[in-house]
């Protein structure tokens, strides 16, 4: 079990390695479970929980304002009281949406995260960020909402499609580059799969790293939390260019981490070879460069809209040496364009 403090001097919540049935047994009459249609197909037990069940369509498009409104209305139809709890059972989409619902209905009710995807286990379920997408951009409407607890439904990984497992691996590998090189050594020693013995240990280590980073900068004020964004400046821009259609988040940030390592090298901020960063992603079947030609002006246009930017130029979280990452400001977009054009041509 891992304890996560919610701010410097306040309460904390537990992240517990659990299984789906254990988590579902926690649900009481008056509680609400929000999940997606894939999970219900795989786990009929969801339909037998003691509380009310709300099922959304799987996929990023469910993190919309319209769907948020629809779910809120179902929550009130189900008669949720101030002392009822909301359980979000699923991947990051369910977690972000249900957490945002929990943070807003009745001005906030208790919320339990039950992550079932690798990405949700190692990243989105810990740290208290919840929210939805707007036509103007991803995750633009949200809140900080700490869960009552996180129940990591480790057994559910067995049914997670391989492409989503690999997607989550991109974030796992990220933790190695930004914080803990021993994680990189372990991931290099043998390809990690759902059945690998060290998987649980790796997930645990990632949660500990996320906890350490979040506890150092809960509300993203001093730049520490921004290191979790390594690869995400380029990655988010690639996702936006793709219109959030085919490119999965993990694929986008894998390409992004290689690109940002080239930027760090090009700017003289690191000696790390982009090829050595790429190697690990290739090992796990993740892409390391865009499939199609990229419109550099549009890409950099999206990067200039990144939430991390302050003042002139681009702000990016760059790895200086393996295991150390720093938020850099004032990076010249023209220079970035030429470095990426060289890398991808």
Q: Identify which of residues 98 and 261 has a Cβ nearer to ligand NAD in the complex.
A: 98
Q: Which stretch binds ligand NAD (CB under 6 A): 11-19, 91-99, 175-183, 229-237?
A: 91-99
Total residues at interface with ligand NAD (CB under 6 A) = 29
Give the list of residues 6+ apart from residue 141 with CB closer than 8 angstroms, or none: 65, 100, 131, 132, 133, 134
**Which H or E run includes 329?**
strand 324-331
Window contacting ligand NAD (CB under 6 A); options: 84-92, 182-190, 235-243, 259-267? 84-92
Q: What is the DSSP string of 111-178?
A: EEEEE-SHHIIIIITSSSEEEEEETTEEEEEEEE---SEEEEEGGGGGGS-HHHHHHHHHHHHHHHHH
Element (H, E) at 328: strand 324-331
Query: Distance (Å, rounded) from C-alpha 230 to C-alpha 228?
Result: 6
- Contact with ligand NAD (CB under 6 A): which of 16, 67, 104, 139? 139
What DSSP string runs through 222-265?
SSSGGGGGTTHHHHHHHHHHTTTSSS-HHHHHHHHHHHHHHHHH
Binders of ligand NAD among residues 275 to 334 (CB under 6 A) are none
Q: Which of 31, 123, 239, 260 binds ligand NAD (CB under 6 A)?
A: 123
* Of 94, 207, 263, 343, the one binding ligand NAD by CB under 6 A: 94
* The one segment of 26-34, 36-44, 175-183, 286-294 that binds ligand NAD by CB under 6 A: 36-44
DSSP secondary-structure letter at 179?
Answer: T
Q: Which is nearer to ligand NAD, 56 or 331 (CB)?
A: 56
Q: Tell me the C-alpha to C-alpha distance, in Å, between residue 288 and each of 186, 211, 274, 279, 317.
A: 20, 28, 10, 9, 18
Question: One symbol per residue from 41 to 60: x for binding ligand NAD (CB under 6 A), - otherwise; what is it?
Answer: -x---------------xxx
Q: Out of 15, 24, 26, 93, which residue is the one contacting ligand NAD (CB under 6 A)?
A: 93
Packing angle of the helix pair 92-104, 65-77 (nearest 10 deg)? 60
Letter string b/e over residues 122-145, b meaning 16 or more CB atoms within 10 A of that residue's CB: bbbbbbbbbbbbeeeeebebbebb
Does position 88 bind ligand NAD by CB under 6 A?
Answer: no
Give the binding range for ligand NAD (CB under 6 A) out of 78-86, 160-168, 294-302, 303-311. 160-168
**Minimum distance of ligand NAD from residue 2's CB (angstroms):** 16
The total of other beta-carbon atoms located within 10 Å of residue 59's CB is 13
- Contacting residue, 51, 92, 147, 256, with ligand NAD by CB under 6 A: 92
Among 18, 38, 261, 317, binds ligand NAD (CB under 6 A): 38
CB of 42 to ligand NAD, least distance (A): 5
Give the nearer residue to ligand NAD in terms of CB position, either 58 or 202. 58
Phi, psi for residue 331 in degrees, rounded to 5: -80, 135
Q: Which of 52, 113, 116, 233 binds ligand NAD (CB under 6 A)?
A: 116
CB closer to ligand NAD, 200 vs 320: 200
φ, ψ at 139 (rounded to 5°): 55, 35
The one segment of 88-96, 105-113, 263-271, 272-280 that binds ligand NAD by CB under 6 A:
88-96
Interacting residues with ligand NAD (CB under 6 A): 36, 38-39, 42, 58-60, 63, 90-94, 96, 116-117, 119-120, 123-124, 127, 129, 139, 156, 159-160, 164, 167, 249
């Amino acid at each position: 079990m891992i304890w996560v403090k919610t701010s410097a001097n306040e309460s904390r919540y537990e992240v517990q390695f659990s299984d789906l049935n254990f988590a579902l047994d926690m649900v009481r009459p008056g509680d609400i479970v929000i999940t997606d249609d894939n999970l219900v197909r795989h786990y009929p037990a969801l339909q037998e929980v003691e509380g009310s069940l709300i099922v959304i369509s799987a996929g990023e498009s469910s993190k919309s304002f319209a769907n948020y409104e629809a779910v809120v209305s179902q929550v009130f139809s189900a008669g949720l009281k101030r002392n009822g709890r909301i359980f979000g059972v699923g991947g990051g989409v369910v977690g972000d949406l249900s957490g945002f619902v929990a943070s807003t209905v009745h001005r906030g009710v208790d919320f339990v995260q039950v992550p079932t995807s690798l990405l949700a286990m190692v990243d989105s379920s810990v740290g208290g960020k919840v929210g939805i997408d707007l036509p103007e951009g991803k995750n633009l409407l949200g809140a900080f909402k700490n869960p009552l607890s996180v129940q990591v439904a480790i057994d559910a990984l067995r049914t997670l499609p391989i492409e989503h497992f690999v997607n989550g691996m991109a974030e796992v590998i990220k933790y190695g580059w930004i914080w803990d090189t021993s994680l990189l050594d372990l991931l290099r020693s043998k390809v990690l799969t759902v059945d690998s013995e060290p998987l649980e240990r790796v997930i645990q280590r990632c949660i500990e790293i996320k906890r350490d980073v979040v506890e150092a900068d809960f509300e993203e004020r001093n730049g520490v939390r921004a290191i979790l964004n390594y690869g995400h400046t380029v990655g988010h821009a690639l996702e936006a260019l793709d219109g959030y259609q085919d490119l999965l988040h993990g694929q986008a940030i894998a390409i992004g981490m290689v690109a940002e390592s080239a930027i760090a090298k090009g700017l003289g901020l690191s000696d790390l070879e982009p090829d050595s960063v790429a190697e690990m992603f290739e090992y796990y079947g993740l892409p390391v460069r865009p499939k199609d030609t990229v419109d550099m002006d549009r890409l950099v246009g999206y990067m200039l809209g990144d939430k991390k930017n302050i003042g002139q130029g681009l702000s990016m979280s760059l790895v200086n040496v393996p295991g150390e990452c720093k938020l850099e400001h004032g990076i010249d977009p023209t220079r970035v364009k030429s470095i990426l054009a060289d890398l991808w041509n």
